[in-house]
């Protein structure tokens, strides 16, 4: 849409000047009063816009809306002003407007009467109480609505203030001027506008009432009420009664009482989050918590304008309060038209649901002390031994030449069964670690927010790195030794190695990082490992949320099998649920991915570092280095190393992105984290591979290393 500013001719029109009492000075006099740039273009345009403001009572609302829109667009996107002392052009134009209102009484009267009469006939509840806040509409409905607004003509709706605001603020660039430098000008505009803003106070009160009612309804819903505990006036935790909820009391509070209730509501939400660890989490609960948090923040922004503790006249308020409201509403208007913003908000909620319980699962994969480090390596060695059996069974499946689906199903059973046995025996598969430990990292981000958080994160990342190194070393070394021993015995018993020369040569060639698709397949496997961690967290949460352990413990079969036995079964399921979910999902996806991709003609495959190590060892044991050549062997070995790095790196990176997104870590801190880790590695690279004796904070983190799955 073209700006209405383009329709204004830069001429002196006597009809626009009004009666003598509302006379706008001529152009040169106006420029001399307000001050302007060298050519006076912006000041001249401002003079015409102010002269167009009419104070007669019979001016139609539609005409007044055009006047205000033109004036607003002049401020945010008007002509450039020369020699503005490196200020943003919008601030220079805003200062011209403020000076005109302060120094020219006729301009002030026109502005005040036009804005006041216009705002008095409009509804602003949606602008302040709904725009930018979560609604009850689903993703499909919201997407359809945004598509309709973008491609279909909209009927006129002069009564809604959010439409007027969206015509003034059309892009993020229109908000780039909002910073501390704008605060004094916005304060002066609020004072110079006089009674122009009075209709907004009633609308803001209604918006606060709407927000409090909505978040109270969400806060006392069954999903949150069953997890809620409240603090009474003595700070004692009580049960989840409706009338005790600070969210419920917000609906009946006066503005002066709301800040204390908002603080109580946030403590109430903290208690709900703690309960999530015990009772599980659903997307409805996550959505409700997020919606309540954002509603509370919006109320805090609006309170200074309706008689809260910090309210007063415009020049008594904190300098940033006007800017904060404009920024919040403006960014919400722009984001409300963006599909990327819609997807970002939904992905953030999904990420938060994934992370809420996954952190506890990840703690089992982080070591702090040397004792835990060697314990991790020993359990990983057991995993490497079992992986030999997995690889052998996988070869038998492939040699069976089964139909595609049967091949994939049998491969999935082999993988999943192997991983489950590995878990039950207390062994570790290294590649399951990165995605799980990123969730533990997210928990640290939540628990240690504030000064020094970055240092704590770097220390935890170092612990995660050496834990994964220990597991990988244990997996690979044990797999190599066990495979060589197996092939030696197999050859002595049968008279020939496990793999034939042709099959062995093909396997060695398949791991060539240059001449094969090993690199993208290894990255794909990293994605699969990450997806399996999502299933692990989802299944554990599902078991807890549905209270299956309690149901099993109190099942009627306890009369036959014994209550103690049922209680042990319940605790076993609760303890191992994440491992079962991750093992079965990982095995299924690893087994079915090649089959499904072959069905669609994609030719995808998986490359798992431990399984690939076993395959390469069997191949080299069969034909030896002389059979394939040193170059092929070194390339294949290098390919195994790349597979390991991509398995770990891709899965950890994806999980870390989700974790940081779920915890709303600022973009600036996200960017500084890799540099901080790299500097730590340059200073003390050894701590990323082996725990030092006296690492600071190791004792605090000791609870992370309580075992391996």
For the stretch 569-596, pLDDT in tens is 888 888 888 788 888 999 999 999 999 9
Q: Is the pLDDT at 161 greater than 90, yes or no?
A: yes
For the stretch 651-681, pLDDT in tens is 888 877 777 766 666 666 667 778 888 888 8
Say which residues have a Cβ less than 8 Å from residue 254's Cβ, sequence separation at least 6: 307
State how far the Cα of 670 lies from the Cα of 113, in Å rounded to an integer: 48
Top pLDDT among 315 and 155 is at 155
Burial of 146 (0-12, 13-18, 19+ CB in 10 A): middle
For the stretch 444-477, pLDDT in tens is 655 555 555 566 777 878 888 888 888 889 999 9
What is the predicted pLDDT for the residue at 702? 39
For residue 238, the cross-strand partners are 230
State how far the Cα of 552 lies from the Cα of 531, in Å rounded to an integer: 29
Helix/strand/coil for 425: coil
- Radius of gyration (Cα) for the chain, nearest Å? 33
State how far the alpha carbon of 168 is from the alpha carbons of 66, 192, 400, in Å: 10, 20, 69
What mean pLDDT do residues 30-45 have?
78
CA angle 156, 70, 186 (to 5 degrees): 115
Is there a contact between 326 and 178 (Cβ–Cβ < 8 Å)? yes
Other C-beta atoms closer than 10 Å to the C-beta of 251 total 17
Burial of 696 (0-12, 13-18, 19+ CB in 10 A): exposed
State how far the alpha carbon of 110 is from the alpha carbons of 29, 105, 143, 421, 606, in Å: 18, 9, 41, 81, 72
For the stretch 347-392, pLDDT in tens is 555 555 555 554 444 445 677 788 888 998 999 999 999 999 999 9
Top pLDDT among 673 and 598 is at 598
Helix/strand/coil for 230: strand
For 197, half-sphere exposure in the C-beta direction (CA atoms, 13 angstrom radius) is 15
- pLDDT band at residue 1 under the 50/70/90 scheme: very low
- pLDDT band at residue 6 under the 50/70/90 scheme: very low
Top pLDDT among 34 and 49 is at 49
Structure tokens at 12: 């002196």
What mean pLDDT do residues 545-550 have?
79
Other C-beta atoms closer than 10 Å to the C-beta of 347 total 13
């Amino acid at each position: 849409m073209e700006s209405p500013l383009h329709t204004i001719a830069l001429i002196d029109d006597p009809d626009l000047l009004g009666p003598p009492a509302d006379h706008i000075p001529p152009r040169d006099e106006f420029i001399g009063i307000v001050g302007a740039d060298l050519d006076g273009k912006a000041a001249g345009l401002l003079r015409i816009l102010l002269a167009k403001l009419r104070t007669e009572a019979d001016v139609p609302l539609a005409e007044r809306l055009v006047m205000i829109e033109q004036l607003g667009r002049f401020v945010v996107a008007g002509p450039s002003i020369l020699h503005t002392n490196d200020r943003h052009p919008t601030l220079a134009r805003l200062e011209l407007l403020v000076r005109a209102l302060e120094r020219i009484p006729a301009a002030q009267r026109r502005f005040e009467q036009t804005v006041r009469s216009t705002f008095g006939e409009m509804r602003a509840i949606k602008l302040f109480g709904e725009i930018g806040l979560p609604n009850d509409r689903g993703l499909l409905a919201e997407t359809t609505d945004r598509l309709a607004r973008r491609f279909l003509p909209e009927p006129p709706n002069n009564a809604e203030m959010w439409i007027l605001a969206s015509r003034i603020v059309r892009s993020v660039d229109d908000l780039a001027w909002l910073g501390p430098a704008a605060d004094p000008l916005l304060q002066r505009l609020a004072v110079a506008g006089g009674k122009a803003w009075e209709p907004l106070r009633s609308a803001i009160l209604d918006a606060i009432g709407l927000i409090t009612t909505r978040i109270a309804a969400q806060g006392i819903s069954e999903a949150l009420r069953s997890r809620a505990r409240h603090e009474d006036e003595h700070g004692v935790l009580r049960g989840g009664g409706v009338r005790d909820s600070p969210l419920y009391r917000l609906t009946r509070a006066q503005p002066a009482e709301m800040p204390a209730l908002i603080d109580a509501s946030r403590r109430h939400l903290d208690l709900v989050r703690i309960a999530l660890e015990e009772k599980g989490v659903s997307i409805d609960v996550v959505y409700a918590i997020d919606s309540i948090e954002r509603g509370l923040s919006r109320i805090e922004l609006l309170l200074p304008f309706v008689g809260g503790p910090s309210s007063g006249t415009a020049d008594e308020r904190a300098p940033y309060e006007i800017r904060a409201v404009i920024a919040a509403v403006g960014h919400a208007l722009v984001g409300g038209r963006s599909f990327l913003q819609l997807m970002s908000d939904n992905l953030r909620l999904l990420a938060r649901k994934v992370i809420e319980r996954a952190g506890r699962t990840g703690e089992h994969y982080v070591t702090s002390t040397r004792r835990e480090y060697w314990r991790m390596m020993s359990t990983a060695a057991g995993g490497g031994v079992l992986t030999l059996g997995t690889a052998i069974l996988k070869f038998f499946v492939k040699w069976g030449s089964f139909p595609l689906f049967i091949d994939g199903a049998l491969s999935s059973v082999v993988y999943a069964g192997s991983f489950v046995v590995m878990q039950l025996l207390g062994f570790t598969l290294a590649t399951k670690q990165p995605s799980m430990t990123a969730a533990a990292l997210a928990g640290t981000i939540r628990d240690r927010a504030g000064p020094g958080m970055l240092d704590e994160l770097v220390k935890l990342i170092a612990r995660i790195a050496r834990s994964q190194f220990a597991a990988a070393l244990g997996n690979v070394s044990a797999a190599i030794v066990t495979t060589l021993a197996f092939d030696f015995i197999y050859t002595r018993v049968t008279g020939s190695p496990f793999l034939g020369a042709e099959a062995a040569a093909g396997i060695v060639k398949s791991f060539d990082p240059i001449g094969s698709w090993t690199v993208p397949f290894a990255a794909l496997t990293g994605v699969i490992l990450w997806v399996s961690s999502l299933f692990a967290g989802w299944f554990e949460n599902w078991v807890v949320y549905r209270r299956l352990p309690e149901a099993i413990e109190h099942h009627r079969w306890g009369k036959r099998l014994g209550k103690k036995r049922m209680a042990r079964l319940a605790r076993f399921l609760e303890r191992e649920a994440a491992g079962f979910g991750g093992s079965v999902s990982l095995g299924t996806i690893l087994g079915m991915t090649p089959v499904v991709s072959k069905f669609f003609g994609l030719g995808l495959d998986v490359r798992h570092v431990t399984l690939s190590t076993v395959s390469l060892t069997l191949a080299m044991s069969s034909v030896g280095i002389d059979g394939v050549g040193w170059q092929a062997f070194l390339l294949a070995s290098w390919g195994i190393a790349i597979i390991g790095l991509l398995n770990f790196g891709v899965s950890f990176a994806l999980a870390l992105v989700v974790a940081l997104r779920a915890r709303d870590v600022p973009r600036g801190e996200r960017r500084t984290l890799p540099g901080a880790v790299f500097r730590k590695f340059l200073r003390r690279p050894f701590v990323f591979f082996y725990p030092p004796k006296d690492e600071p904070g190791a004792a605090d983190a000791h609870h992370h290393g309580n075992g391996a799955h």
